[in-house]
């Protein structure tokens, strides 16, 4: 547990040092939310109808920005070799990296998601569910994105490869999260979508570190 805490502090410090931490991701999110009305039209009714789904699409895209350096920096300077030979298993190392990614980037994005959704026309009553679902979905984005980052280790165009690997896997939480918020806004049963979102994120957190560790070992061999 002490080793995990040390790794988590290290990863949080590195996350804030990657080009300004979550600032770039939140700024990108704001840009997408600002551009959407220009494409969809300024009608409040139209924007309100697409606000939950649009906010989730923007959240998924913003979550991609800092994934490329999740493992690449340690891979390039040799720190990943030392971590692989250290007393802490690579699965724990991978989990600490993704958890730090969630705290440093997923949490600020989750805090901004209700703001973006409300600006696009979503009702204020949707704010609590929007925040909780974005926070839970961000956990899934971090661990699934970590798998893509580990698989792309050593490639010349890692960012493009990560996007190709990860974006199809980001579709389920976007569907579940946006669907839950839309159902809540319409007065329908929103719990199935929310529970499916939680199951996706918890499964990613449970299984993702094993896939990441295997991909890292393959890149180092």
What is the average pLDDT across 110-130? 84
Which pTM does this prediction carry?
0.89
Q: Which of 166, 134, 127, 130 is nearest to 148 (CA)?
A: 166
Confidence of residue 53 (pLDDT cuts 50, 70, 90): confident
Residues 149-162 have pLDDT tens digits of: 988 887 777 678 88
Helices 191-220 & 158-185, crossing angle to 10 degrees?
170
Residue 45: exposure state from Cβ atoms within 10 A (0-12, 13-18, ≥19): exposed
Domain spans in the chain, listed from the N-terminal domain onward:
2-220
Judged by DSSP in three states, 186 sits in coil
Q: Which residues of 129-164 are buried (b: 16+ CB within 10 A; e: fewer)?
A: bbbbbbbbbbbbbbbbbbbbbbbbbeeeebbebbbe
């Amino acid at each position: 547990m002490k080793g995990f805490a040390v790794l988590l502090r290290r990863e949080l410090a590195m996350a804030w040092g990657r080009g300004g931490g979550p600032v770039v991701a939140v700024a990108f999110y704001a840009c997408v939310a600002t551009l959407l009305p220009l494409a969809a039209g300024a009608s409040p009714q139209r924007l309100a109808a697409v606000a939950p789904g649009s906010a989730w699409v923007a959240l998924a895209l913003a979550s991609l920005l800092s994934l490329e350096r999740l493992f690449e920096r340690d891979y390039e300077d040799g720190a990943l070799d030392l971590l692989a030979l250290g007393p802490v298993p690579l699965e724990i190392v991978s989990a600490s990296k993704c958890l730090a990614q969630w705290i440093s980037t997923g949490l600020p994005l989750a805090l901004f998601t209700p703001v973006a959704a409300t600006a696009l026309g979503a009702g204020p009553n949707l704010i609590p569910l929007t925040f909780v679902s974005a926070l839970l979905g961000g956990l899934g984005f971090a661990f699934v994105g970590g798998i893509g980052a580990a698989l792309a280790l050593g490639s010349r165009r890692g960012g493009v490869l990560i996007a190709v690997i990860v974006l199809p896997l980001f579709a389920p939480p976007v569907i579940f999260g946006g669907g839950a918020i839309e159902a809540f806004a319409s007065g329908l049963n929103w719990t199935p979508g929310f529970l499916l979102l939680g199951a996706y994120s918890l499964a990613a957190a449970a299984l993702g570190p094993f896939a990441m560790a295997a991909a890292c070992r393959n890149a180092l061999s």
